[in-house]
Amino acid sequence: MIYRLLIFDRQYRCRLDRHFGPRGNLPDEDSMSLLLGLCHSLRGTLRKLAPSPSSSFSYRTNRYRLHYYESPSGWRFVMLMGGPTGSCVYAGTTVTETTALKTFYAGPFVDWVVKNPMVAPLDGEMLGPGGFTAKMEEFFALPIFIS
């Protein structure tokens, strides 16, 4: 089950904070800062330890899993999940929870945000109502995201 999805732009500004389940005890701003700090620290540590750099990583505890993906254009995606894992097919591609953010970026995000001349993500509110929101909801309604 997916709990939360966060999308950050190149300047680390949160452009989307979508809760799919119950909220935690911390205010959204505080939890967002903590999650971004955790991802930044883990990414730095992994870059020093790993033999080759990677644009994504996963972090697992006994209560949740955190998945992080940084796109080639600098967009950062953070997804918190819990429950059982699995896979399914989306647009002809097998999606697992570890490949979900990359698939989401390459599909709905690129089609509805990156290629959309009507979206000016650096000039104000991004990812408002419209086609992107519907495609995002459709993508995260796939069986691997539902408990």
Domains and CATH numbers, the chain: 2-145 (3.30.450.70)
Q: pLDDT class for 123, splitting at 50, 70, 90?
A: very low
User: pLDDT per residue over 41-62, tens digit each?
Assistant: 888 888 888 777 778 888 888 8
Q: Quick check: 75 and 93 in contact, CB under 8 A?
A: no
User: In whole angstroms, how far apart are CA 139 and each of 43, 101, 104?
Assistant: 26, 10, 7
What gap in Å lies between CA 87 and CA 64, rounded to an integer? 17
What backbone phi and psi angles, to 5 degrees, belong to 18?
A: -110, 120
- pLDDT reported for residue 124: 43
Q: To which H or E segment does residue 138 belong?
A: helix 131-139
